[in-house]
Structure 1
Amino acid sequence: MFDALSDKLNSVFKQLKGQGKLSEKNIADGLRAVRMALLEADVHYQVVKRLVADIKERALGQEVMGSLTPGQQVVKIVNESLTRLMGDTHEGLNLAGEKPVAVMLVGLQGSGKTTTAGKLAVLLRKEGKQPYLVPADIYRPAAIDQLKKVGGQLGVPVFDSTPEMNPVDICQQARVAAHKAGCDTLVLDTAGRLHIDEELMGELARIRTALKPTDILLVADAMTGQDAVNIAKSFDERLDIGGVVLSKMDGDARGGAALSIRSITGKPIKFIGVGEKLSDLEAFHPDRMASRILGMGDVLTMIEKAQEVVDEKQAAELEKKLRKNQFTLEDFRDQMRQIRKMGSLTDILGMIPGMGKVKQMKNLQVDEKELVHIEAIINSMTPMERRQHSIINGSRRKRIAAGSGTRVQDVNRLLKNYTQVMKMMKKINKGGMRGLGRGMLPF
């Protein structure tokens, strides 16, 4: 996400890098390019106008630090302005009220409400809540069955509604059922239309009046750009939404919706959908998003993802093995599984500061199938082979390749890469970073 915008902004900053100091002329030249980059990213024109004026005022004012280069000064100012534009800090769900509270999901048909309901249930459960899913969309074919299937996958209770029932009755009966089941949070998956109409809004208003949800979240497709902003405005005027979930941020989203919604509607983006898995829902942090847009990475989100999947005891044991040079192929496989739980490797690499600016990393797509092949090769080994790779001779390599559905060359490449990593780790353990440097330099 934001790749095109990031590239254009970074090219502007590079042009300023060689300047001796910031002047009205080079700021004007830079801001002209920033304005075009934002408009091409489908950011609302009023937001662009406001943002550019804010950057110009601060760049020409007293906020410029003498210790920074012109390029660094502008990056700092743009970063702070983008953060402020998107809301400064993360705003979570409002769950204050008599249990079970209700969180109502609204939006147009096809925006991803049903999937988001499941993703929200995963998030709530991580926070120690007991979610209860409510299929209240009686119009879209299979909408009820879809949510029941999602609930079954997650082991989350789902109200047994049918298409013949009234949506308001469904939600009211679901609250009683959730209370009996000991659940504390209702997630209401309401109906959508292909466009906003009176019938849809009337039904949503009746559900709102009957259930009095503590939070109403608009699920909007990030790929619709400024349309998502207009949709948010319309829903907010009728329902007074509490915030927005931007779905499909992992697709070809140019960034316009994320940068415009808060400024135009005054309502925060609370979550973003970053993939198809039910675990792919992230809290929206304006400061972290601004860093990603400027190619500065997102270390905090990466750390949070790691904390969710990494077992501290296993990590301590792994560190001991690495220090003693006892890191086996079995350990390598286990670590690879944990890293894959964090999400797409391409996305993880994008969170590392500076990676987006490395030429070799541009448009890099890590082939997840390759990781599946590596795991298959290691699984085809015997426990002894995984722990003592040196015993793997030619005949064993043929057997491992046949068992994993790969070629002998693939097995050879894995063993070669593993051996090189072990040699590198040995140098680190022996001589610290100096030892590593000697091993990596060609002289």
Structure 2
Amino acid sequence: MVLAELGGSISRALQQMSNATVIDEKVLNECLNEITRALLQSDVQFKLVRDMQTNIKKIVNLDDLAAGHNKRKIIQQAIFNELCKMLDPGKPSFTPKKGKTSVVMFVGLQGSGKTTTCTKYAYYHQKKGWRPALVCADTFRAGAFDQLKQNATKAKIPFYGSYTESDPVKIAAEGVERFKEENYDLIIVDTSGRHKQEAALFEEMRQVSEATKPDLVIFVMDSSIGQAAFDQAQAFKQSVSVGAVIVTKMDGHAKGGGALSAVAATKSPVIFIGTGEHMDEFEVFDVKPFVSRLLGMGDLSAFMDKIHEVVPMDQQPELLQKLSEGHFTLRIMYEQFQNILKMGPISQVFSMLPGSSAELMPKGHEKESSAKIKRYMTMMDSMTNEELDSTNPKLMNESRMMRIARGSGRLVREVMDMLEEYKRLAKVWSKMKGLKIPKKGDMNALSRNMNAQHMSKVLPPQMLKQIGGMGGLQNLMKQMGSTKDMMGMFGGGD
């Protein structure tokens, strides 16, 4: 069961419970059994699931709850908290500091995406102002140094390795020493991939660790590994002091539960997740927003941060002004399509919006939706400035549509589809008139400047229903001021 399906199954179980006339022991057990089945199908270790179910039943004692208590919310909150606890060992990992040299060593199974993840980790910190450098101490896999060299060159990150030296311990020690002398503040050491049974490679890993004295050892885990995750993670933890986990290939095509079980095995926090093959498809992992997105509850703070990340600062005031005026042209649609494509995989972007996955991004149609956006942009490339900046639908007559179709190599029918999409978005945009969008991070301002009545007109009916109707929307908006407490996403009364 892929993570998207896992989230859908848990959401459905919670929704069925919410639809029940009376919340009793039978309804609670049915809900928990459905959630347990979904977690086991996603390869979460049996003991973890059993413990979670036991803990929820201890917290939610229906007989002890007074008549005035909101039973639904108490149950939902207990489920949310237990899922978070499963992913949170309760202790932070080592955090590198700018200007002070830190050595980070990467370990993991062969094929887990470790070498690519090293570069993504370096690239992420480079964008934040660090001076990272990469050391290839993987002499076991043919082509490992070539891969790291290619990735590092593309990302413009210094690297060290050798085609002639076969001793990984010597390469690691020399590389770390060189970059320390050159005052790099984040030195990343890539090691040979290995399996639990390979005693010689585990010994090599220990020796590399002793030679480089890393401040942090990161265990890289492929999300598709399944039930073997717990044992494999434990084997690494016994050999070196694993301080953090990065889960790769979390782009919806593999089971994720097994990899998430690795947190329990290593007792180390997940710090990043890889969501695709590209360099920037790499996210900081934060437990509560992640669980919230997993359950289809969204992560609006992350969505707003994504918008501020991809829209250039000098364009933001103008864009936000147009948004508040309800002024929408084909050129604005083109610019927003550009921004959506920059934000990463479309399904990932929509997962940040509460209840929107099914409404805006039908399962299995992510590539199709991306291709459609690109087609629309190609058609708009064949339009004149007058056409792009006009708000008059009558301007687009038949002869203009034929010219645009010829210029973009598309059918007239496809141009008509694109214009229908524009009309639909223009209608949504007009409902946003008067809405004030805050600066980055100021989610309280967003909460102050919106009201539930306003937003209920903008949201698709199915999305509004999934959030929990008007009551759920009001509760959601109260909670948007803080990412620390995502429980308002559950909403609903008893």
Q: Where do 1:389-400 residues align within 5 Å?
A: 393-400=397-404
Matched residue of 1:32: which SS? Answer: helix
Amino acid at match of 1:412: M
Distance across 2 between alignment mates of 1:25 and 1:158 = 60
The corresponding residue for 2:475 is none
The corresponding residue for 1:212 is 213
- Select between 395-404 and 102-111 the one with higher mean Cα deviation: 395-404
Distance across 2 between alignment mates of 1:187 and 1:14 = 45
Please tell me whether the aligned partners of residues 248 and 275 of structure 1 are also in contact (alpha carbons under 8 angstroms).
yes
Distance across 2 between alignment mates of 1:301 and 1:427 = 23
Q: Where do 1:139-288 residues align within 5 Å?
A: 139-288=140-289
Summarize the Cα distance change of 1:235–1:270 in structure 2 as closer, same or farther, 3 Å threshold.
same
Matched residue of 2:188: which SS? Answer: strand
Amino acid at match of 2:417: R
**Cα deviation, residue 403, structure 1:** 3.0
- Select between 79-88 and 250-259 the one with higher mean Cα deviation: 250-259
The corresponding residue for 2:74 is 73
**Cα deviation, residue 195, structure 1:** 4.9
CA deviation profile, 1:27-56 (whole Å, cap 9, x unmatched) = 334333333222222111111121111001
Distance across 2 between alignment mates of 1:342 and 1:66 = 46
- Select between 44-53 and 248-257 the one with higher mean Cα deviation: 248-257
In structure 1, the gaps of 5 or more residues are none
In the alignment, structure 1 residue 409 sits paired with structure 2 residue 413: yes
- Select between 108-117 and 415-424 the one with higher mean Cα deviation: 415-424
Q: Where do 1:329-344 residues align within 5 Å?
A: 329-344=330-345
Report the RMSD for the aligned CA atoms in angstroms: 3.3
Distance across 2 between alignment mates of 1:64 and 1:318 = 50
The corresponding residue for 2:374 is 372
- Select between 340-349 and 3-12 the one with higher mean Cα deviation: 3-12
Distance across 1 between alignment mates of 2:186 and 2:192 = 19
The corresponding residue for 2:18 is 17
Distance across 2 between alignment mates of 1:284 and 1:86 = 10
**Cα deviation, residue 64, structure 1:** 5.6
Distance across 1 between alignment mates of 2:429 and 2:299 = 27
Amino acid at match of 2:414: D
**Cα deviation, residue 96, structure 1:** 5.8
In the alignment, structure 1 residue 31 sits paired with structure 2 residue 32: yes
Distance across 2 between alignment mates of 1:363 and 1:248 = 16
Summarize the Cα distance change of 1:325–1:46 in structure 2 as closer, same or farther, 3 Å threshold.
closer
Distance across 1 between alignment mates of 2:374 and 2:91 = 35
Distance across 1 between alignment mates of 2:286 and 2:432 = 36
Distance across 2 between alignment mates of 1:102 and 1:65 = 55
Summarize the Cα distance change of 1:12–1:329 in structure 2 as closer, same or farther, 3 Å threshold.
closer
Summarize the Cα distance change of 1:189–1:259 in structure 2 as closer, same or farther, 3 Å threshold.
closer
Distance across 1 between alignment mates of 2:416 and 2:210 = 66
The corresponding residue for 1:4 is 5
Could you state the TM-score of these two structures normalised by the residue count of structure 2?
0.79
Matched residue of 1:109: which SS? Answer: coil
In structure 2, the gaps of 5 or more residues are 436-449, 462-494
**Cα deviation, residue 265, structure 1:** 3.0
Please tell me whether the aligned partners of residues 135 and 159 of structure 1 are also in contact (alpha carbons under 8 angstroms).
yes
Q: Where do 1:32-47 residues align within 5 Å?
A: 32-47=33-48
Summarize the Cα distance change of 1:331–1:3 in structure 2 as closer, same or farther, 3 Å threshold.
closer
Amino acid at match of 1:386: L
**Cα deviation, residue 17, structure 1:** 2.7
Summarize the Cα distance change of 1:309–1:247 in structure 2 as closer, same or farther, 3 Å threshold.
same
In the alignment, structure 1 residue 105 sits paired with structure 2 residue 109: no
**Cα deviation, residue 373, structure 1:** 1.3
Could you state the TM-score of these two structures normalised by the residue count of structure 1?
0.87
Please tell me whether the aligned partners of residues 106 and 189 of structure 1 are also in contact (alpha carbons under 8 angstroms).
yes
How many residue pairs match? The answer is 440
- Select between 416-425 and 27-36 the one with higher mean Cα deviation: 416-425
Please tell me whether the aligned partners of residues 21 and 69 of structure 1 are also in contact (alpha carbons under 8 angstroms).
no
**Cα deviation, residue 69, structure 1:** 4.8
Please tell me whether the aligned partners of residues 89 and 285 of structure 1 are also in contact (alpha carbons under 8 angstroms).
no
**Cα deviation, residue 219, structure 1:** 0.7
Identify which of 375, 386, 389 aligns with 1:387. Answer: 389
Distance across 2 between alignment mates of 1:61 and 1:289 = 28
**Cα deviation, residue 138, structure 1:** 1.7
Matched residue of 1:313: which SS? Answer: coil
The corresponding residue for 1:120 is 121
**Cα deviation, residue 180, structure 1:** 4.7
What's the % identity of the aligned pairs?
31
Distance across 2 between alignment mates of 1:19 and 1:415 = 43
Amino acid at match of 2:374: V
